[in-house]
Amino acid sequence: MNLDVSGDHINSKLAQEAITTHELMHLFGYRHPAGSGNVNYGRYDLQSGSQGGFYQVVDMGLVPIHPFTLAHPVNEPGWAPLPIPIPRDTLDLHVPDFFGHQLRSDRKSYIVEITHTGIIQSFLLVNHQGATPYDNKYQGSGLLIWHLLDPFDPEHGFRDLELASGKSPNAVDGDDALELSTPQVPYWGSAQDFFDGTSASDFSYLTNPNTNLYNTNDPPIFYPDPQDVLSGFAVENIRRSNTNGDMIADVYVDKAQILESPDGGGSNPIQRGSTIVVHWRVRPLLGAATVDLDIAETANGEFRSLGSGLPNTGTFNWLVLQKGGSDYRLKLTTRASGGSPHVLGTDISDNPITIDDDRSCP
Amino acid sequence: MNTMRALVFVTLLSPVFYGNLAAADLSWCSAPDPPITPLISPTKPSIAVRIVFIAFPETSPALPIWADSLAADMRAFMRAMTGDTSPNAPAMNVDLKIVKRPGADSVLAWVAPQPASYYYGSHDTGELNKAVMTMIGQTYEPNPTAGVDAVLTIAYKCTSVFTPPQGKGCDIDYGTTGLGITDPSGIPGWSAIPKARRLI
């Protein structure tokens, strides 16, 4: 294939812009994303180059450079911050437009490490880059969410972009070939299928695409191993801020539901004999059927049941009959439906709960 | 004369390095990139780059009409990707220009002295690069590529003899390569230390 120099072939310009800039960025210290078999993101990272051969950017011209690539050049500080770790469930996480922030310190992407025996995989959560002219090629807007395999290892940095196409991943091999249609791999989705908070607002193990993990750590090559390892990681309730355009989401690192109140602390003890409404945040996509509530007198004490098999409505009226104490803990256990309900996750109140027992005896 | 400045000379041949790898042996893809010493970073945010279009006797010599906008688009893109308004962390500032021929020929590419097959067959891209840089050095005083950080050529036909494990460069599946000038002697105005690079 030779350059088209006829002068009016727009694709030639787009191709040369992409290739020339890609090569120039190498000189500037940006390598190809490490590893092999990266899936789906050629159109989302100019430096993906030949390793994203399925997803050629040539016809797209210049497309943004992946935030992680920008943040992680060789031997030098990056042009963007590294993703911010999310070690625990985080509600109302604001994800600013990555390229819309001209101050590097204001650019943010987030990474969640998922621990699973024998499998080292993570997800990188990053907002779309809709503020640059280069994103207009996608005609989309919203969150991009990626499977990552050991992303800080330069030789095993597998990345698999998940989008809300509703058609991926393939149940057999986990492949989710966006923007691709070949005899071997049919078209399964679109590069415009962002998690936009309108048409796609949730990403969990119950959605499609889902948050399941690949079943090995082997860097897959285009046709990854099956994504059949259940993951409790989820990005739910994705929406867009009306005030500043941030994408907002609730990020969960496991399958627990969060006990919201009483959560201990504060200056208002619970009065023995009163009725307290226990609140927990219901996750509709968790597949939860029932919950158990238990209470322990001390942090290391034995939990005793306040109620089991309770409907997962988010509230429970607790008639406080426990004796006075200042170190109580509440525990919420979430169970899946089925013949033998299994525990999805537990959450224990973060701080000691005080129960006052100063009533006058009749 | 700035003899300490590394000048990188790379060749971009055609949009083939993005080739479809669906049916290809991908073993070469998995090799880690060679160590890179960045020419630019947030602590050294400015860089001078020149682009040279190279035609051949058997091709049209016309520059693409988008040659100028290519440079402008690349400058804007790099700034957008690295943008920062804080005084201590400026955006990437790329002084990027096309090295054009003088006068009325400014709408034409530099024309290699030999057909592309000459370089691809038994010689190499470095010889082509040296010939064109010599031509530029003989045309302009001072040489417009002297002292800049990087020069990129965009050749109208494949001239690479780079041989990846599966075959010659310029193959649709194996991408292109750039070979630097290893012997800059004889290039007028060439003051930098050239560095050979292979780019895929």
Per-residue pLDDT 10s for chain A (362 aa) are 333 333 333 446 777 777 778 777 777 767 666 555 566 666 677 877 543 344 455 566 788 888 877 877 655 667 788 888 888 889 899 999 888 877 777 888 888 887 776 666 666 666 777 767 887 777 778 888 887 776 565 555 667 778 776 555 554 555 555 655 555 555 556 667 889 999 889 998 888 788 888 776 665 555 456 777 888 889 999 999 999 889 999 999 888 999 999 987 776 789 999 999 999 999 988 888 999 999 999 999 999 999 999 999 999 999 999 999 999 999 999 998 765 668 888 999 989 999 998 755 44
Single out the residue in A252, A280, A313 at which a domain terminates. A252
Q: Does residue A50 form part of some domain?
A: no
- Number of domains present in the structure of chain A: 2
Q: Would you call A184 an interface residue with chain B, using a CB distance cutoff of 8 Å? A: yes
What CATH number did the domain enclosing A351 receive?
2.60.40.10
Provide the residue range defining the domain that includes B71. 6-18+46-195
* Residue B29: closest CA among B38, B18, B42: B18
Q: Does residue B34 form part of some domain?
A: no
Provide the residue range defining the domain that includes A344. 259-356
Q: Does residue B33 form part of some domain?
A: no
**Residue in A with minimal Cα distance to B158:** A2
DSSP, res A339: S
Pair A234, A274 in one domain: no
Beta carbons within 8 Å of A123's beta carbon, 6+ residues apart: A111, A112, A114, A145, A146, A147, A148, A211, A233
Predicted local confidence at residue A49, as pLDDT: 55
Q: Which of residues 93-152 of A touch B (CB under 8 A)?
A: 99, 102-105, 132-134
Cross-chain CB nearest to B36 (options A12, A16, A31): A31
Pair A266, A225 in one domain: no
Q: Does residue B41 form part of some domain?
A: no
Best mutation target among A1, A3, A54, A102 (most B Cβ atoms within 10 Å) is: A3
Pair A214, A289 in one domain: no
Pair A229, A116 in one domain: yes
Instruction: Tell me how far apart the alpha carbons of residues B59 and A187 are, in angstroms, rounded to a whole number.
Output: 38
Q: Does residue B176 form part of some domain?
A: yes
Angstrom distances, CA of residue A102 to CA of A135, B53, B82, B90:
16, 33, 8, 10
Summarised one tens digit per residue, pLDDT across range B6-25 is 444 455 543 333 333 332 33
Pair A234, A89 in one domain: yes
Residue range B59-88: mean pLDDT, rounded = 82
DSSP, res A89: -
And the tokens for B83? 């943008």
Which residue blocks in chain A are alpha helix, DSSP H?
10-27, 67-71
| DSSP code per residue over A123-181 | EEEEE--TTSGGGGGTT--SEEEEEEESTTSTT--EEEEE---SS-S-TTT----TT--
Q: Would you call B81 an interface residue with chain A, using a CB distance cutoff of 8 Å? A: yes
Q: Does residue B177 form part of some domain?
A: yes
Q: Are A288 and A335 in contact (CB under 8 A)?
A: yes
Pair A275, A244 in one domain: no
Single out the residue in A252, A269, A285 at which a domain terminates. A252
Q: Which residues pair with A16 in a beta bridge?
A: none
Cis peptide before B142 (omega within 30 of 0): yes
**Residue in B with minimal Cα distance to A52:** B18
Pair A223, A351 in one domain: no
Q: Does residue A145 form part of some domain?
A: yes
Q: Does residue B30 form part of some domain?
A: no
Q: Would you call A15 an interface residue with chain B, using a CB distance cutoff of 8 Å? A: yes
Q: Is the pTM of this model over 0.80?
A: no
- Number of domains present in the structure of chain B: 1
Q: Does residue B142 form part of some domain?
A: yes
Single out the residue in A185, A218, A252 at which a domain terminates. A252
Q: Would you call A39 an interface residue with chain B, using a CB distance cutoff of 8 Å? A: no
